[in-house]
Amino acid sequence: MTSDTATSDTATATATAGTHAFQAEVGRILDLMVHAVYSDREVFLRELISNGADACEKLRYAARQDDSLLAGDTQLAVTLAPDAAAGTLTVSDNGIGMSREELAGNLGTIARSGTRAFAEALGNAGDTQPGTAESLIGRFGIGFYSAFMVADRVEVSSRRAGSPEGWKWSSDGRGTYTIEPDEQAPARGTRITLHLKEDAREFLEPQWLESIVAAHSAHVPVAIRLKEGEVSREIADGSALWLKPKAELTADDYRDFYRHVAGAWDEPALTIHYAAEGRQAYRVLLFVPSEKPFDLFDPDRKGRIRLYVRRVFITDDAELMPAYLRFVRGLVDSDDLPLNLSREMLQHSPMLAQIRKAVTNRVLSELARLAEKDPEAYLKVWSAFGPVLKEGLYEDLERRDSLLDLARFRSTVAPDGWRSLKDYVAGLRPNQTAIYYLTGDSPAQAAASPHLEGFRARGIEVLLLTDPVDHFWVRVAAGFDGKPFRSVSQGDTDIAAIPLVAPADDADDTAAPAAVATLAAFVRQTLGETVKDVRASDRLAESPVCLVAGAGTLDRRLERLLSRQDGAAVTRSAPILELNPRHPLIRHLAAQATAPGDKALLADAAWLLYDEACILDGETPSDPAAFAARLTRLLLARGAA
């Protein structure tokens, strides 16, 4: 077995057995690595298994030129052997093995790696065969030393394939190591014995070792065996499901793997499995769940796509897709992504950015294909993850059009169903030039809003947007199919040119414009700075009043949402009060406004109109006591009359 990878060639092997100093400030480096580089102690097993897999891959390559190196032992594997009585864990392989010089060079120098030297030698030799340098794992040469996180002492016994000599390297990780001849070395390959610390004895439990392998190393290119006493059993077969042709896999194969990688028990709603070739080679196996993961709305909005490099698990925190696709589960396996020292954080890499872009586009295209071929199945996906996908409408300008194609909405046409924007545009009314929407707390609450009355009278469909993210994306989305998005509760409606579905039978039901203007001026003066303006409405058909936001200001519900957040510095703007000149109450009050006499009760009525509009908008009167007093005075006056 070799150490993981390399960045230094400074060490030279010693020519004699004995005690030697590490070729670096090993105490400081090991302490830094153990306490800072790795966040989970169990990562040591991943690193040692990876090194063993590297050694086996090297032997496979070397055997192409000299098949005698296999010496009849062709079943390459990594074996784990816990010994509770001795307090040791042994990790062994039957790979290429190491000579005395390689032990000193690879293990005696921090960050020097036979793996990298081997890969560079292949490159210098002009080797271009697949499965050689590209299949090697290591890059930096410190993975081996992660063993000191759990061990007081590490012993490495190794014999180079084809060599009669075996050697033993041992160290406590405190500054020196020894190398000596070892007649007990394996016939070929490497055996690493970890003398575990007292607080690391859980790594002697077979079930725990098996679970670590399943999580981190189940798909390395060689089999992994667990030896308990004299009994050995295979816990990973060295195969990777995502490397197999799709034709060889069944729905059950995908379901079982999805449940493993996602830690879920539902059925995948969509499976995406493909291989990318060209400038970069990588394989993708992704799943869209059918049920919401428990962490879907965690504040960190992290994805859970696993990154593998040559079938070795690296991280599930590589940001392989944007946050609005964080519900997707699965993995990406790359052949040549650069990694950092610990493999837990990737270097900023153009290759990673390209993979992210390509995989994201593929997921969206597969969702679009599902929406076209199986609308019912897609609606189940949208019902579960629509609020998350809509985050992309706000964040991802590049893919906004694709996401708008995927979006589905409740609307006044289908309050209990779903409508696409293509459906909406296909049903535009004559002279309609915008896509109208209304935000609300629920579809039922939004559908009951008075703001919709004029639109219903003209047969205009209105989208009912009830997710918090809706307040944000509609402000930045330019529109769809050349039609801008426009709120029915903000600014002017501009719907007068759209014909009514059933024209009014009696035009005399509308109050005289001059009388309505007089009433509006009186109400405006009475309410003062509470409102920005008071005006006649063409959006109301049945209700007497409503509140709307002025053009260029925040939607009233968005203002309310932001003002509720801790530390919010949102000052709520004064709304516009609109009066319905066709409503009997407004006609009556307009007549009173133009008639001579005391206007005290009319002033009470003005405030009550405003309070009624607040209630219709989902708010309570700002001064309940004043509201009750005004209502009492009007009722008494009505009774006296």
Residue 554's nearest CA partner among 563, 565, 566, 544 is 563
Distance (Å, rounded) from C-alpha 289 to C-alpha 258?
Answer: 9
Measuring CA to CA, how many Å separate 182 from each of 21, 152, 262? 20, 21, 45
Residues 354/355/357/363 CA torsion (nearest 10 deg): 160
Residue 63's nearest CA partner among 20, 25, 95 is 95
Query: Could you give the angle at the alpha carbon of 102 between the alpha carbons of 97 and 103, nearest 5°?
Result: 85
Three-state DSSP at 505 gives coil
Q: Is 98 annotated as a binding residue?
A: yes
H helix or E strand, kind and range, residue 452: none
Token readout for 639 is 């009774």
Three-state DSSP at 335 gives coil
CB-count burial class (<10 Å; 0-12, 13-18, 19+) for 344: middle
Instruction: Give strand ranges (E) for 428-580.
Output: 435-439, 462-465, 485-487, 533-536, 545-548, 576-579
Strands 408-411 and 419-420: antiparallel
Distance (Å, rounded) from C-alpha 274 to C-alpha 283?
Answer: 6
Residue carrying structure tokens 């040791």: 88
Residue 549's nearest CA partner among 623, 473, 498, 486 is 486
Q: Is 114 annotated as a binding residue?
A: yes
Task: List, as one string, the DSSP characters of 524-536.
Answer: HHHHGGG-SEEEE
Order of strands, edge to edge, in the sheet holding 151-159? 18-21, 176-181, 166-171, 151-159, 189-196, 88-93, 77-83, 223-228, 231-236
Q: Is 93 annotated as a binding residue?
A: yes
Residues 289/292/298/303 CA torsion (nearest 10 deg): 10
Contacts of 452 (CB under 8 A, 6+ apart): 412, 438, 462, 488
Are 562 and 570 in contact, with CB atoms under 8 Å apart? yes
H-helix segments, 396-493: 400-406, 421-426, 443-447, 453-457, 470-476
Are 149 and 47 in contact, with CB atoms under 8 Å apart? no
Contacts of 15 (CB under 8 A, 6+ apart): none
Strands 268-276 and 282-289: antiparallel
Three-state DSSP at 81 gives strand
Distance (Å, rounded) from C-alpha 9 to C-alpha 106?
Answer: 10
**Can you give the three-state secondary structure of 91-131, one letter per residue?**
EEECCCCCCHHHHHHHHCCCCCCHHHHHHHHHHHCCCCCCC
Distance (Å, rounded) from C-alpha 617 to C-alpha 418?
Answer: 24
Distance (Å, rounded) from C-alpha 352 to C-alpha 366?
Answer: 21
Q: Is 51 annotated as a binding residue?
A: yes
- Annotated binding residues, written as ranges, equal 47, 51, 93, 98, 106, 113-114, 190, 343
Residue ranges of the annotated binding site for ATP are 47, 51, 93, 98, 106, 113-114, 190, 343
